[in-house]
């Protein structure tokens, strides 16, 4: 029997549990809260300004990608910001991340975006391999920290 190919598709509500399980492994700077996830996940699925995809193998979600549309002035059109891409660690090096990335890029192209942008501190080589170039540093200000000052 020939194994079924991995399917990249839009996320649906039924994907919430496996996506949350992957998210917990993905997040290093934050601890994902299930209640917040439960409120946000359906919003992302239904938003035309979000692209939330899953990689499915034989009915099992083995990865996901999340990108959001960002209007810009400087780029003469919208960017798609790749926020998250995660593949189950036991399934890495099978091309799943590459397929998710290509699907996000295809989505951005179909939306007439000017570019796909992202920030990473661990996977630069992966993105360079896919034609991305390093252009800037990424800074953040945790707003929760401001209230304690």
55: domain CATH number is 3.40.630.30
Summary mean pLDDT of the chain: 90
User: What is this structure's pTM?
Assistant: 0.88
In angstroms, rounded to a whole number, what is the distance separating the alpha carbons of residues 90 and 118? 24
Determine, yes or no, domain membership for 30: yes
Determine, yes or no, domain membership for 2: no
Determine, yes or no, domain membership for 20: yes
pLDDT tens string 70-116: 999 998 989 999 999 999 998 888 889 999 999 999 999 999 999 99
In angstroms, rounded to a whole number, what is the distance separating the alpha carbons of residues 130 and 102? 9
Determine, yes or no, domain membership for 1: no
- Three-class SS state of 133: coil
Number of domains composing the chain: 1
The answer to whether 117 touches 81, Cβ cutoff 8 Å, is: yes
Determine, yes or no, domain membership for 75: yes
The reported pLDDT for the residue numbered 4 is 64
Give the pLDDT band of residue 149 (cuts 50, 70, 90): low
Give the pLDDT band of residue 141 (cuts 50, 70, 90): confident
Q: Give the single-character DSSP code of 62.
A: E
Structure-block tokens of residue 118: 């992202």
pLDDT tens string 123-138: 887 888 998 888 887 7
Task: Name the residue range of residue 89's domain.
Answer: 7-146
Average pLDDT over every residue of 22-39: 88
């Amino acid at each position: 029997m020939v194994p079924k190919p991995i399917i990249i598709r839009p996320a649906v509500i039924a994907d919430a549990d496996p996506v949350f399980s992957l998210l917990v492994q993905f997040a290093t700077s934050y601890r994902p809260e299930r209640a917040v996830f439960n409120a946000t996940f359906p919003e992302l699925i239904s938003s035309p300004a979000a692209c939330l995809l899953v990689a499915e193998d034989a009915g099992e979600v083995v990865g996901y990608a999340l990108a959001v549309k960002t209007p810009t002035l400087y780029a003469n059109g919208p960017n798609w910001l790749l926020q998250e891409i995660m593949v189950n660690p036991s399934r890495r090096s099978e091309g799943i991340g590459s397929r998710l990335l290509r699907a996000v890029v295809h989505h951005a192209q179909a939306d007439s975006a000017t570019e796909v942008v992202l920030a990473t501190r661990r996977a630069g080589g992966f993105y360079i391999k896919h034609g991305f170039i390093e252009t800037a540093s990424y800074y953040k200000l945790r707003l929760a920290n401001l209230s304690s000052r």
